[in-house]
Amino acid sequence: MRVLITGFEPNDEGLNASERVVISLRDNPTESLSQYIHAIDFKIMPGDTYRLGQIVDKTLKAIAPDICIGIGQARGYNRIALERMAKNLRYFTTSDRAGNAPKGELIASNTPVAYWHSLIEQDSLVALLENHDIPARISNDCGTHLCNQVFYHFLHWRETYKADMKVGFVHIPILPEQVIKYWPESPFMPMEMTRQALSLIISRQIQIVEPKYV
């Protein structure tokens, strides 16, 4: 059993909630996640649209995970959002970390317009989080920036190399320190609540794929 969890390096303002939370889970796993930590790889993806696909391919070939969940920051969100699908489109309204801002480019040529996630019982994860007093929802639009792109790369790799890999993407709200420093009017979620939410999602997928862990 191998699990890959990814976040993104900061794209602007020097801070990305997904990087902070992913590193936090790696270095200080929650109690519920600690029993699986030996099976989990945590990676931070580059904020460069023209390097991202190559890095994803290299990472997935090296790890060949059974479960792959990307994490991304969503400024303006007030709850955890589980994404349903990734689309084959790059349309950046803001530049990536490398200064790229494609306007209507395909992520990959001669590939499907979109892919559905492949997590197990994704809709039930909303109830799981809400039962732990964590706001959550299903999202039908992952955007057209790097989050959608990495999600698409994960799902296309699954289609090409490992059809049974469980792939999902989770958007998380920004952190309180980002509200203080950069976006005073934005909703946010405390770090510990976000950590708990991701731990519940990851643990549940592991338990379903490998029942011996229950």
Tell me what pLDDT residue 114 has. 98
Tell me what pLDDT residue 47 has. 95
Name residue, tokens 């989990």. 40
- Mean pLDDT, the chain, as a whole number? 96
Among residues 68, 142, 147, 156, which one is catalytic? 147
For each of the domains in the chain, give its residue range(s) and CATH number, in order of start: 3-213 (3.40.630.20)
| Residue 171 a catalytic site member | yes
**pLDDT category, 95, cuts 50, 70, 90?**
very high
> Quick check: 214 pLDDT over 60?
no
Q: What is the pLDDT of residues 110-145, one digit of tens each?
A: 999 999 999 999 999 999 999 999 999 999 999 999
Among residues 145, 153, 156, 171, which one is catalytic? 171
- 188 CB neighbour count, 10 Å cutoff: 22
Kindly list the distances between the CA atom of residue 82 and the CA atoms of 12, 139, 207, in Å, as whole numbers in the listed order.
Answer: 23, 6, 18
**Angle between helix 191-209 and helix 122-131 axes, rounded to 10 deg:** 130
> Average pLDDT of 181-205?
97
Among residues 83, 142, 153, 156, which one is catalytic? 83
> Average pLDDT of 18-28?
98
More confident of the two residues 211 and 121: 121
More confident of the two residues 41 and 13: 41
**pLDDT category, 213, cuts 50, 70, 90?**
low
User: Which of 2-16, 84-98, 150-164 has the lowest average pLDDT?
Assistant: 2-16
Phi, psi of 46 (to 5 degrees): -75, 150
Q: 174 and 188 in contact (C-beta within 8 Å)?
A: yes
pTM recorded for the entire structure? 0.96
* Distance of alpha carbon 91 from alpha carbon 16, whole angstroms: 20
Tell me what pLDDT residue 13 has. 63
| Residue 68 a catalytic site member | no
| Residue 147 a catalytic site member | yes
